[in-house]
Amino acid sequence: MKFGQFTYPVASTRPILIFGLGELARLACTYFSEDSPHQVAGFIVDPEFATEEGRYLNQPVYSSSAIGTSITPQEFDIFVAFSGQQLSYPRSNKVRELLDKGFTLPSYVSSYAFIASDAIIGNNVMIFEHNTIQSEVTIGDSTILWSGNHIGHQTSIGEGVFISSHVCIGGRTKVENNCYFDRRKHCCGLK
């Protein structure tokens, strides 16, 4: 492996179910299918969001009520791909709930991102193309880095953080949990 080329840990060869049916779920399906070693096997939704067709993007849609019965940690990994009215709280809460039930929640890292070999990436993280993650960076569970960001050395990013495109976070920065960054707006949660 060359410096900065991310290698997926081979923790699981189970197919992935994507939790959600919105825009982030559609993107997760595309990126996991086309730019990762993972195979997408369908989607999961809470019963109140189920569709009559029972399919989305030519994949089956399962009810979350099947988690623990026909959807088990031995058969599937899950990627939680929804946001909500309360920023990342619903996604972060669902990630913790599924981890507690023993599921593996893989992260997606674009093959076009530069990730230092000593960076630590949590569960259910999505890192899109053209991100630079420097040495000794830690990224918490359920965080999303949209395209084209720079995360400086020795930075710690908490859980449930959303960083939109073209944000530069300098080295040795601590970002608290559930923060939102948009280069066009004020940011919150820096220390």
At 51 the pLDDT is 77
Q: What percent of the chain has pLDDT over 90?
A: 80
- pLDDT averaged over the chain? 90
Work out the average pLDDT over 151-171. Answer: 96
Q: Looking at the domain assignment, is residue 23 inside a domain?
A: yes
Q: What percent of the chain has pLDDT over 70?
A: 88
What CATH number should be reported for the domain holding residue 128?
2.160.10.10
pLDDT tens-digit map of 119-152: 999 999 999 999 999 999 999 999 999 999 999 9
At 117 the pLDDT is 93
Looking at the 3D structure of the chain, how many domains does it have?
2
Beta carbons of 48 and 71 less than 8 angstroms apart: no
Same domain membership, residue 129 and residue 113: yes
pLDDT tens-digit map of 38-86: 999 999 999 988 878 899 999 999 999 999 999 999 999 999 998 755 5
User: Using the 8-state DSSP alphabet, how is residue 76 labeled?
Assistant: -
**How far apart are alpha carbons 139 and 187 in whole angstroms?**
17
Same domain membership, residue 92 and residue 118: no
Worst-scoring range by mean pLDDT, 122-131, 153-162, 167-176, 180-189? 180-189
**How far apart are alpha carbons 3 and 165 in whole angstroms?**
23
What confidence tier does 7 reach under pLDDT thresholds 50, 70, 90? low
CB-neighbour burial class of residue 128 (10 A; exposed 0-12, middle 13-18, buried 19+): buried
Pairing of strands 59-63, 120-121: unpaired
Same domain membership, residue 120 and residue 74: no
**Element housing 127 (H / E):** strand 126-127
CA-based end-to-end distance of the chain: 34
Residue range of the domain that includes 56: 16-100
